[in-house]
Amino acid sequence: MWNERYMDNDFVYGKEPNLFFKEWLQKFEPGYLLMPADGEARNGVFAAQLGWEVTSFDLSEEGKLKALELAKENKVTIDYIVGDLEELQFNKESFDAIGLIYAHFAAEKKSILHKKLNDYLKPGGLIIFEAFSKAHLTYNEFDPKVGGPKDINMLFSTAEIAADFENYEILLLEEKEILLEEGKYHIGKGSVIRFVGRKK
């Protein structure tokens, strides 16, 4: 599915970073950043422009091609890996921040994968998270252009995020209705969970 989507000539979620990610990443000193499910790397490339050492990964070879194109266009480099988080391994406590932007995993795996990512983050490191909430299903049914999983169990609640990242100082945790304008697959009103946490 993702290879097919990213074969599109356009950048399907646009070239600009997610606004929430952009706002929060700029508050912190650059270091080593891990970007799971980074697709065409609009967020990873933005981070690299700020001076972060970026490791991005996703399932799609086509996504990687677009990502490297975008990086070249912006005169930065990112380390982009094609692979599944279940199988990838990184050094323990090797990243200063992790960006989880619309990183929706299979329902039965999402908490397990969040815990795995936690192991890769240094103490004092940051998670910046935005993804669709369980309430988003209603928005998605009303307007398919806004995108997002159609399985409610792949969507998030604030309680789930607080439980998955229980060893974090919560800088922000909220459910919010927002207007999305990200390429052709995130257009319109949606409901999201936003979380910024610092690992204790």
How is domain 2-199 classified at the CATH fold level? Rossmann fold (3.40.50)
Residue 8's pLDDT is what?
80
- 170 bridge partner residues: 197
* DSSP string computed for 98-144: EEEES----TTTHHHHHHHHHHHEEEEEEEEEEEEBTTHHHHHHH-G
Please give the Cα distance from 115 to 104 (Å, whole number).
14
Q: What pTM does this model have? A: 0.95
- The overall average pLDDT reported for the chain is 96
- The percent of residues above 90 in pLDDT, for the chain, comes to 90
Q: What's the pLDDT score for residue 141? A: 87
Average pLDDT for residues 61-75, to the nearest whole number?
A: 96
Residue 200, pLDDT > 90, answer: yes
pLDDT in tens, 8-60: 878 989 999 999 999 999 999 999 999 999 999 999 999 999 999 999 999 99
Annotated domain spans of the chain: 2-199
- Collapsing DSSP states into helix, strand and coil, what is residue 42? helix
Q: What is residue 96's predicted lDDT score, i.e. its pLDDT? A: 98
Q: How far apart are CA 93 and CA 96, in angstroms?
A: 8
Residue 4 has pLDDT above 90, yes or no: no
What are the φ/ψ torsions at residue 146 (nearest 5 degrees)? Answer: -75, -15
- What are the tens digits of pLDDT across the range 126-166? 999 999 999 999 998 888 889 999 999 999 999 999 999 99
